[in-house]
Structure 1
Amino acid sequence: MFDYIRNWFQQRFSDPNAVTLTILLVIGFSIILIWGSILAPFLVAIVFAYLLEGPTALLQRLGVGRTIAASFVFLTFIMVMLLLMIFLVPVVWEQSFNLMRELPKIAQAWDQLMVQAQEFAPAFIEPQQVLAFSENITARLLSFGESILAQSLSSLVNAFTLLIYLVIVPLLVFFMLKDKDVLLGHFNRILPKQRRMISQVGIEMNTQIRNYIRGKALEIMIVGVVTYVVFSLFDLRYAALLATLVGFSVLIPYIGAAVVTVPVALVGLFQFGVTSTLFWLIFAYLVIQALDGNVLVPLLFSEAVSLHPIYIIGAVLVFGAIWGFWGVFFAIPLASLVKAVIMAFSQQRRLQEHAEGAEP
């Protein structure tokens, strides 16, 4: 057993390039695990820098200097964020508090639905089961509302931290855009000379992360806007809030869409009751989700490495448990990183076997 492990270790790490890649990965993951909360502004800035790099590079190809292009794109981005904060955030905030206040009424509508279901099929649904299930749902809705309000109040205490983010993150984004080549040059200087596998994995991951962040940003905007239009056509209450939730639900593959279905269905049940309008609303929502998964995602992520849904869900669960929101957000790129590292080691092993077979 020990001989097998020793032989496996010697085969995998006899190449200095493999050793340097492994050391870099261990150091990188350790830094994020230990100082992840401190480095959160840098992670946010990196996400926005990747998002804005495309327009900046496009202006450069048109003959605009890097500094001017980065400044123009950055100022445009700040203006868009300010418009969202002025027009969208207050509406979502107000609808959130209104929805929290009406959670008891929504729970009551759910109780009435359960009673109707028991009357419709008394042979299959016992009253005790209906009562226990309704009490459970009601308690969960009320506790959810209380927790949201408590977090909202506690967030006021962290207002100073939010102000720091509003100052630090834009500065980091601007300098990352303007001095991209300089910063990459500084990073390359600290890398060892045996960097073949690091470069191989880095090039692939740069493409993956760039495609993923831009694609997710477009997907959130498209799904959110389309959902808001559809909900508005149904005259659904809290349309802006629910559309925002649906838009951000795409950050969590497969799981997010299933979770957001619950508030959409509950609000529709509370407003329309068990009517044809409710069923048409749910049908329209399911159509949006189907078009997102089968049309929009393949178009936006055409350059992404194909991953099996089991691997994606596993990555969401594992990295989400380790790093919380950022683990969920970067679950697909991190899963692609694992795949890229495995492919790099497999390629390195094939090169070694080819070299050994070529020896006389």
Structure 2
Amino acid sequence: MGQADRPFVTLVYSVALALMAGYLLVIGKQILVPILFAIILCYILLESARGIGRVPGLTRSPTWLRHIFTLLAFAMVLTLLTSITTENAQALAQRVPEYEMRLNVFINDVSERLNLQEQPSWTALRNMMGTDINLGQITSRMLGVLASFGTNMFLVLLLAAFLMLESAGLSAKVTRAFETREQSDAIINIFHQINAQIGQYLAAKTAINLCLGFISWVIMALIGVDFAMFWAVVIGLLNYIPYVGSLMGVLFPTLLSVVQFGDMATTVTTAITLTLAQMLMGNIVEPRLLGRLVNLSPFVVLVSLVVWGSLWGIPGAFLAVPMTSIVTLILAGFPATRWISVLLSSEGKI
């Protein structure tokens, strides 16, 4: 093989490797997604446990005790959120016929204001769009998704608990796994960087999402939006998804306000106040708390959202930022791939 052919061969091998990796990610979704969520959750729990250790009076508390406390606390919160979302989703499914009636009244009111000769209905609009949009079926599917999500999260929590137990001896295992001290130190350094950066990011992001969910709940409760607690939980979860999540978080309760109140002024008020809450957290609070914890350019974040979302759907959208950040830190740890990490970063600094 000639010297001139080597770059071309390397490119072909790289493309083939990327295609194979993408194929394996798609077919291994059912296995890989819970494991990766467990890794992400482990980062959140470990950073929360370290945060508890920095609280005055708890600095000398045993590490194992803090780990158990964070696990139990998360299990309690997960149980509470699962109960809230399931109960509210079931109540929402029961009220779907009432919402469809109110939606017809709202459509008729709008048509009267526009002086339309023939007043349309929800059924007529569905037929005109050529789609069979059934609110009852959509709600039933949502219930199934929530039930599956709750079950999978308890599996993720179990996996995360074992990962926390394994984390203490990880450095010793890496040292024994490699022949030279330089190799093991390089790998351990990468692990430390990932633990510090991703752990702090996820812990801060979780705190921000909890605050956003609480603020959104207060806003919707004051306006009188049905199932305010349920939508607050949804908003907090969707905010893990960059860009798209905040938009969807405002869209869902705003659409509900249309069929609930049938009043454009209330709908606009709901949309504006929820958007202001999103802007407050996203443009003021997040930059101050997160800072340079996620050193990714906005374009890379958007591309990662598209790629991981295409591979794994909604779970991929949740994992897009932390997974891409982990990949970037791994690439930065080796001289041969450091240039890729620099290109993916926000300011070209690693």
Q: Please state whether the residue corresponding to 1:251 is helix, strand or coil.
A: coil
Compute the displacement of 1:270 (Å).
2.5
Judged with a 3 Å threshold, the aligned counterparts in structure 2 of structure 1 residues 140 and 308 are, in CA distance, closer, same or farther, namely farther
Judged with a 3 Å threshold, the aligned counterparts in structure 2 of structure 1 residues 32 and 207 are, in CA distance, closer, same or farther, namely farther
**Paired residue for 2:170, among 167, 174, 183?**
183
Partner of 2:348: none
| 2: CA distance, partners of 1:319 / 1:139 | 28
| 2: CA distance, partners of 1:134 / 1:223 | 34
Partner of 2:60: 64
Deviations 1:264-287 (A, max 9, x none): 112212332215333222211111
Partner of 1:307: 296
Judged with a 3 Å threshold, the aligned counterparts in structure 2 of structure 1 residues 80 and 130 are, in CA distance, closer, same or farther, namely closer
Partner of 1:232: 221
Partner of 1:98: 91
| 2: CA distance, partners of 1:110 / 1:130 | 7
Report if the CA contact (8 A) 1:118-1:130 is conserved: no
State the TM-score, normalizing by the size of structure 1.
0.72
Report if the CA contact (8 A) 1:111-1:134 is conserved: no
Q: Please report the RMSD computed on the Cα atoms of aligned residues, expressed in angstroms.
A: 4.3
1:6 aligns with 2:6: yes
Partner amino acid for 1:52? L
Judged with a 3 Å threshold, the aligned counterparts in structure 2 of structure 1 residues 323 and 207 are, in CA distance, closer, same or farther, namely farther
Deviations 1:316-347 (A, max 9, x none): 12112223444222211333345456665465
Q: Please state whether the residue corresponding to 1:37 is helix, strand or coil.
A: helix
| 2: CA distance, partners of 1:296 / 1:312 | 19
Superposition map of 1:17-56 within 5 A: 35=28, 37-38=30-31, 42-56=35-49
Bigger drift between 33-42 and 184-193 goes to 33-42
Q: Please state whether the residue corresponding to 1:252 is helix, strand or coil.
A: coil
Partner of 1:142: 136
Q: Please state whether the residue corresponding to 1:143 is helix, strand or coil.
A: helix
Partner of 2:162: 172
| 2: CA distance, partners of 1:322 / 1:33 | 6
| 2: CA distance, partners of 1:295 / 1:270 | 32
Question: Could you list the runs of 5+ residues in structure 1 that have no partner in the other structure?
Answer: 14-18, 350-360
Question: Could you list the runs of 5+ residues in structure 2 that have no partner in the other structure?
Answer: 341-350
Higher relative contact order by CA 8 Å / sep ≥ 6: 1 or 2?
A: 1
1:221 aligns with 2:210: yes
Report if the CA contact (8 A) 1:227-1:285 is conserved: yes
Compute the displacement of 1:127 (Å).
6.7
Deviations 1:132-171 (A, max 9, x none): 5445587243331232345578x59x96x787x2883364
Judged with a 3 Å threshold, the aligned counterparts in structure 2 of structure 1 residues 262 and 214 are, in CA distance, closer, same or farther, namely same
Judged with a 3 Å threshold, the aligned counterparts in structure 2 of structure 1 residues 301 and 263 are, in CA distance, closer, same or farther, namely same
Bigger drift between 262-271 and 37-46 goes to 37-46
Superposition map of 1:314-353 within 5 A: 314-340=303-329, 344-345=335-336, 347=338
Judged with a 3 Å threshold, the aligned counterparts in structure 2 of structure 1 residues 231 and 71 are, in CA distance, closer, same or farther, namely same
1:284 aligns with 2:273: yes
Compute the displacement of 1:294 (Å).
0.4
| 1: CA distance, partners of 2:21 / 2:68 | 28
Larger radius of gyration: 1
| 1: CA distance, partners of 2:241 / 2:287 | 16
Q: Please state whether the residue corresponding to 1:139 is helix, strand or coil.
A: coil
Partner amino acid for 2:76? L
State the TM-score, normalizing by the size of structure 2.
0.74
Report if the CA contact (8 A) 2:204-2:289 is conserved: yes
| 1: CA distance, partners of 2:188 / 2:114 | 64
Bigger drift between 139-148 and 210-219 goes to 139-148
Q: Please state whether the residue corresponding to 2:303 is helix, strand or coil.
A: helix
Partner amino acid for 1:114? I
Q: Please state whether the residue corresponding to 2:169 is helix, strand or coil.
A: helix
Judged with a 3 Å threshold, the aligned counterparts in structure 2 of structure 1 residues 313 and 319 are, in CA distance, closer, same or farther, namely same
Deviations 1:200-228 (A, max 9, x none): 75554434321332122112211111111
Q: Identity of aligned pairs, percent? A: 20
Judged with a 3 Å threshold, the aligned counterparts in structure 2 of structure 1 residues 139 and 54 are, in CA distance, closer, same or farther, namely closer
Q: Please state whether the residue corresponding to 2:168 is helix, strand or coil.
A: helix
